[in-house]
Structure 1
Amino acid sequence: MRGLIVGAAAVLVVLAGCGAPPGPAGLDGVWQGRIDVPGSPLDIQVTFDGTGGGVDIPAQGITALPVRDVRVEGTRVSFALPDAPGGAAFTGTLSGETIAGDYTQGAAPPIPFTLARGELAAPARPQEPRPPFPYRADDVTVESGDVTLAGTLTRPEGPGPFPAVVLITGSGAQDRDETLSGHKPFLLLADTLTRAGFAVLRTDDRGVGGSGGAPSGTAYDVLADDALAAAAFLRGTEGVDPARVGLFGHSEGGYLAPLAASRGEVAFVVSMAGPAVPGEDVLILQNRLLREQAGAPSADTEAYLAFLDRFVDLLRAGDVDAARELSRDEVVGQLATLPESQRPGPEQVEAIVASTLDLAPFLLHDPAPSLAALDVPVFAFFGERDLQVPPSQSEGPMRELLAGNPDATVTTFPGLNHLMQPSATGAIGEYGAIETTIAPEVLDAVTGWLTARFT
């Protein structure tokens, strides 16, 4: 789940790019190292080729983020990442086969970095499933209205009939594996559940991978219908028991799964870090916690949260033009703190503004009606250290809204973050540095809950 705008004091965040233009001859080749972000150091790989290059940051799922303006003046080396929010730059000293210096992004203070020649070792992901698999895995397509969704269907060996699960991703443009910070949570979930005797369907989001449609701003009713289309596909699949097809949603997917269940035929709902309060409440607390953790001045945080309140009020009133103007003023005001050379152009500003408006379906959604209406088995769980969907905000309301359901389980796992990883602080910057994709106790709990009821 994403925040609205990342402030200068927030954890380092860069945008994915593609393509690697050329860098300087003296630096040609591959370099690896680290940006020493306090509490969440980032391993990086930089490839120089001619007059430019590309940066990979595995922990943030970034590959070939374009490098520009590479300069070598004696032992001084500098290069820029113009596609990073607010602009970013490296300035350092070349000594033999190493470069050391400062990384700056936007108006944030400089952060030390070091690079050395060589390739960055792939991050350890001990849970990531590797072939050969003891089950069938097929690429499939699902028709939802006039859009085709591409996905992967995994099925246990044998004739069945098997119970089945549709996986629903969190916010943002997600692929079928929900790839995030170098992890593939939905690949792991699909593997775990299929080995336990369930067929599992996971699809690329609209506008991602092989799926058609727009990648953002789609109404929740439409996204819920996508989930129901996937469930209908499973009910029509050979070897699947049509009476035992349910939904598993993560984060924003935890909004969509109950909504879909209220609109169609579903045998069960599993919600992993799914909010139980309106989206605007989630976003405000999320931003408060993340900004406090990043050390943002309290006055800046309060001003930003006041902006969010006004922004949501305008969206709720249907005044999209006024919301757009308010968002533009906020974005321009934040960018004005940057050096002029680092400020994005008008087109980039408008893209940022458009992305804030795309949050409207999330911000205006109230999950209470669909959660209270659930009359199928429900397993809703949270991570104690989740800063994006804090259990302090959602666990209580979830219990209250499901109180009338005779088979509803609500729990919070100690020490886990939004991805259900063991975490020291819950910080987003930790996600990629943690080797565990999903804590084993969560996988065991989900598998056990489903197996006890549907196998």
Structure 2
Amino acid sequence: MIWKLRMPSTRAVAGLFLAGFPQFVQEEPAAVNHLAGATEYEVEIRHAGNGSPFAGSLVLPAGEGPHPAVLLVSPAGEHGKDELRRGGQHYADLARKLADRGIASLRVDNRGVGGSRNSSWPAWNWSITLQELAADLAGHFRWLRQRPELDFHRIGVLAHGDGTVPAALLAADQVPGARRPAFTILLSASGRRGVEDLVDRMVTRVEAGSGALPPAAGESLLSALTGLLDHGPTSEVVEQMAKTLPSFGVPDQQAEAQAQAFAANYGHTWHRQFLGYRPSETFRQIRGPVLLVLADDDNRLDAEVSERVAADIFGSTMAFNARWKRLPEGGHFLEPGDGRKILRDEVVDIISNFITEATGFDNTPLPPPSPVLAELVVANVNVVDVVSGEVHANRWLTIRNGAIADIEDVPPTGGPSDATVIDGSNHFLIPGLWDSHVHLCMWGRDALPRWLSHGVTHVRDMGGDLRELLEWRRQVQAGEMLGPKMLIAGPFLDGEKPNDIYRQFLLQVEEVEPVVDTLQAKGVDFLKVHSQLPEEVFAELARVAKERGMPFVGHVPAGILPLQASHAGMASIEHADSFFSALVRAPNSGIREWQQARSWWQSEEGRIGLQKIAANGTVLVPSLTAVDVIAERLGGPAKVIAPWTQEITRAAHSAGIPIAAGTDTARRLLGVIPGEALHHELRLLVACGLSPLEALRSATLVPARRFGHDPKGGAIAVGQAADLVLLRGNPLEDIENTAAIAGVVAGGRWLPQP
């Protein structure tokens, strides 16, 4: 089939009105290629406000779906949709191999190329900008998200070479009105300015051939290209380039003509913009799982250089959602010899495994949510009292308009009622659970219902895009979409770092008040401190936060001891490993190794320090799950640190420090899954010595009363909001039963679970 699009001003989707989303118009049958285990459709794509169609090929795996999918982004220039390099069938081959693995794909001819050549775009034009190419990708991506055969939660982008830059702009939320891909795959990307990369490649090519190159040749060419970027193809630039090119193998008599052609070519809008652009600044802003694949033959890289390239591209974000693979053998990404028109199977495996890993959380559609019920009765249920630790058997709990109205030991009396009745026989009812350390933006809006499906009705977001978070909270509160209730910090407050994603840098004391006042005015619930905040700035932040009545929480910054942070008023210390890293980083601690820090906390002085932190009422959110998963998946130092974090959590609990359960769901690629991870955290807390009741309190009473500031919150009581979880087993006997969920009541909505 050929599918075309028209763009209405609004489209109703599941009761919501979303501006600017396309509708499909099915037209006459077109070429359909039936492959082994897949079907390939030739499609036309029209973007909003742009009548000229793009030609593409959509490959769908066998089966009903919905399938994950990837948009295959061609490099800039006269590349057809099948090409990774000129004359090959690389993307066509990749599409079919991905389909064999259950992954759909769309590849599209560039403007003015192949089937995308028309009266508006008769040929490829190098006057195109990075932003225009990124906007094209956004339109293609939007088209994919509307396909009924595809799971729009699990659609990402894959790009090669200079195509990685517009793809990164899309993935970094730098295309107005576009939705972010679920994952990003970058083949042969470079984080350096294009002009630096071009010179290095030319130098490498010569050195790999003759091996003879004057020492200043590279610097001279870089100077000439920089002049071209700054001033255009002037005579001075051409002259300097003509003097340089013979060093790169150009005959003297051809140097001037080659220099003029080179300057004219690289004087176009695209080349000048690309050569002057530093992609690493965009790559570091990618908000989702990202894979970088580098091949030695393509970039002439050894292992050490590969490490530097990956670090330059991603900076510290590699600790969160980034992976990179190095292919040490030659052959670029292609099969050697006559097979260079197809991708190596090793590359296809890397790509498909990453897509599965990046999108592998439970995407089974939730049952359609009911509206907030006027009256809901949970009949004959065992109510778990997390305050007393008792189980009140055979209770009838009545919910009216989203709040608990009655709890009786006999059925409700009175006249006929049209209440919805849920049979709670042999089930256990607990308060809705809290995850006190999440990063919602790392997963995106589409994952919000996942917390509810696992019984998590409240979350504390510890750093993300404030604009997005406030809008999501508004939509949840208005009943426009399902999701947990949110407490929001907005950006991390941090000192200077290479990674600036979701960060507000505070470098000077005088910057503190205006930033705090702005965040408070925008509606944040608390302030989140990160690890590099300067000492004097931290002290000022503590003063201003107290003055404004604004809680502040977070990592213990370098130079500050945990007890100092607690005395300063920090409401919660995030991550159990902060107790070790803080001592190592603080110059006045005299401790330089993690093992020394561990020994210090085991000493009498350390135990007294924990007791003083407890006396201040500072909460510990250990986030054991994140360290445990890293240790299991990556090994290395985390294998040693993971048991220590559980050890310090046990000691903190014994000292009386309140414990709140939080999972640090930023680490998407490592399998810290929304909602599901909280139940793993509760199991780890029990392993640290908390009783099942204490672990349950860490996800109910403690966060509701310490962070939600509700003295009666986190318990099942008349007048409380109806955020409840119906379990098939008693969690006080076995904490594993918190995951045996029969259904969830979220603000008066009944969400049955399979």
Shorter-chain TM-score: which interval?
Answer: 0.5 to 0.7
Q: Any conservation in 2 of the 1:255–1:275 contact (CA below 8 Å)?
A: no
Other-structure match for 1:373: 285
- 1:448–1:314 distance in 2 versus 1, CA, 3 Å: same
Which residue does 1:354 correspond to in 2? 264
User: 2:43 maps to which residue?
Assistant: 140
What is aligned with 1:196?
A: 101
- Paired residues for 1:85-104 under 5 Å: none
Q: Label 1:435 to 1:441 Cα distance change in 2 as closer, same or farther (>3 A).
A: same
**Does structure 1 residue 285 correspond to structure 2 residue 206?**
no
Q: Show the counterpart of 1:413.
A: 327
Determine the C-alpha separation between the residues in 1 that align with 2:291 and 2:166: 14
2:291·2:323 contact (CA, 8 Å) conserved in 1?
A: yes
Alignment of 1:30-429 (within 5 A): 132-144=35-47, 146=50, 147-178=52-83, 180=85, 182-212=87-117, 213=121, 214-262=124-172, 263=174, 264-265=178-179, 266-295=181-210, 297-299=212-214, 302-303=216-217, 305-315=219-229, 317=230, 319-322=231-234, 326-327=237-238, 330=241, 352-358=262-268, 359-387=271-299, 393=305, 395-399=307-311, 401-404=314-317, 406-421=320-335
Letter matched to residue 316 of structure 2: A
Identity across matched positions, percent: 24
Measured in 2, the distance between the counterparts of 1:356 and 1:312 equals 11
Segment drifting more, 410-419 vs 383-392: 383-392
CA contact (8 A) 2:79 2:86 kept: no
Whole-Å separation in 1 of the counterparts to 2:282 and 2:339: 34
Question: Residue deviations 1:170-190, cap 9 Å, x none?
Answer: 243211011636532111111
Does residue 450 (structure 1) correspond to residue 363 (structure 2)? The answer is: no
> Contact between 1:217 and 1:360, CA under 8 Å: does it hold in 2?
no
Aligned to 2:683: none
Distance 1:273 1:440 in 2: 17
TM-superposed CA distance for 1:278, in Å, is: 1.8
| Structure 1 residues 331 and 345: alpha-carbon distance in aligned structure 2, compared to 1, 3 A threshold | closer
Q: 1:337 to 1:153 in 2, by over 3 A?
A: closer
Please state whether the residue corresponding to 1:292 is helix, strand or coil.
Answer: helix
**Aligned mates of 1:142, 1:392 — CA distance in 2:** 43
Q: Distance in 2 between matches of 1:166 and 1:372?
A: 21
SS at match of 1:404: helix
Give the Cα separation in 1 of the matches to 2:185 and 2:344.
16
Amino acid at match of 1:178: E
Give me the CA root mean square deviation. 3.4
- Whether the 8 Å CA contact 1:372–1:404 is kept in 2: the answer is yes
Distance across 1 between alignment mates of 2:250 and 2:199: 23
Displacement of 1:370 in angstroms is 1.7
In the alignment, the residues of structure 1 paired with residue 42 and residue 220 of structure 2 have an alpha-carbon distance, to the nearest angstrom, of: 46
Q: Using the TM superposition, give the Cα deviation of residue 333 of structure 1 relative to its aligned residue in structure 2, in angstroms.
A: 8.7
CA contact (8 A) 1:386 1:418 kept: yes
Q: Distance in 1 between matches of 2:191 and 2:250?
A: 36
The separation in 1 between residues aligned to 2:304 and 2:75, in whole angstroms, is: 20
- Secondary structure at 1:252 match in 2: helix
**Shift in CA distance, 275/338, structure 1 to aligned 2, threshold 3 Å:** closer
**Contact 2:238 2:263 survives alignment (8 Å):** yes
1:179–1:185 CA contact under 8 A, matched in 2: yes
Match of 1:97 in 2: none
What are the superposed Cα offsets for residues 205-250 of structure 1, whole Å, 9 maximum, x if unpaired?
Answer: 2221122443424211111111111110101122112222110011
Shift of 1:368: 2.0
- Any idea what SS the aligned residue of 1:210 has? helix
The residue type equivalent to 1:442 in the other structure is V
Output the CA distance in 1 between the equivalents of 2:170 and 2:302: 23
1:267 CA displacement: 0.8
- Comparing both structures, which one devotes a greater share of its residues to helix? 2
Pick closer, same or farther for the CA change 1:141–1:371 going to 2, 3 Å: same
Match for residue 27 of structure 1? Answer: none
* Cα distance in 2 for residues equivalent to 1:199 and 1:337: 45
Note the C-alpha offset of 1:285: 1.0
**Relative to 1, partners in 2 of residues 1:250 and 1:390: Cα closer, same or farther, differing over 3 Å?**
farther
Q: Give the direction of change, closer, same or farther, for the CA distance of 1:142–1:434 in structure 2 (3 Å limit).
A: same
User: 2:621 maps to which residue?
Assistant: none
State the secondary structure of the residue aligned to 1:386.
helix
Larger Rg belongs to: 2
Asked if structure 1 preserves the Cα contact closer than 8 Å seen for 2:193 and 2:276, the reply is yes
Secondary structure (helix, strand or coil) at the match of 1:247 reads: strand
CA contact (8 A) 1:153 1:199 kept: yes
CA distance in 1, matches of 2:302, 2:226: 20
Matched residue type, 2:326: T
For residue 353 of structure 1, report the CA deviation from its aligned partner. Answer: 3.7
User: Cα gap change, 1:295/1:246 in structure 2, threshold over 3 Å: closer, same or farther?
Assistant: same
Residues 225 and 252 of structure 1: CA distance in aligned 2, closer, same or farther (over 3 Å): same
Partner of 1:15: none
Q: How many residues were matched structurally?
A: 310
Q: Secondary structure at the match of 2:80?
A: coil
Deviates more, 1:290-299 or 1:159-168: 290-299
Q: Aligned residue for 1:41?
A: none
Partners of 2:94 and 2:220 in 1: CA distance: 39
Cα distance in 2, alignment partners of residues 438 and 181 from structure 1? 13
Distance of aligned partners of 1:307 and 1:350 in 2 relative to their CA distance in 1, 3 Å threshold:
closer
Larger strand proportion of the pair: 1
1:332 and 1:397, CA in 2 relative to 1: closer, same or farther beyond 3 A?
A: closer
List per-residue Cα deviations over 1:413-454 (Å, max 9, x = no partner).
Answer: 2213433546xxxxxxxxx65557322222112111212332
2:159–2:187 CA contact under 8 A, matched in 1: yes
Contact 2:158 2:185 in 1 (8 A): yes
Give the drift of 1:328. Answer: 7.1
- 1:292–1:338 distance in 2 versus 1, CA, 3 Å: closer
Q: Give the structure-1-normalised TM-score.
A: 0.60
Residue equivalent to 2:750:
none
Distance 1:215 1:331, change over 3 A: farther
| 8 Å contact kept, 2:334–2:340 | no
Name stretches of at least 5 consecutive residues in structure 1 with no aligned partner: 1-129, 423-431
Decide which moves more: 397-406 or 244-253: 397-406
Distance 2:80 2:359 in 1: 27
Q: Name the CA distance, whole Å, in 2 between partners of 1:179 and 1:302.
A: 33
Q: Could you say what secondary structure the match of 1:357 adopts?
A: coil
Q: Secondary structure of 1:284's partner?
A: helix
SS at match of 2:350: helix
Relative contact order higher in (CA < 8 Å, ≥ 6 apart): 1
- CA displacement, residues 43-68 of structure 1 (integer Å, 9 cap, x when unaligned): xxxxxxxxxxxxxxxxxxxxxxxxxx
C-alpha contact (below 8 Å) 1:163/1:198 kept by paired residues: yes
CA 1:310 to 1:330, structure 2 compared with 1: closer, same or farther past 3 Å? closer
Residues in 2 aligned to 1:206 and 1:390: alpha-carbon distance in whole angstroms: 36
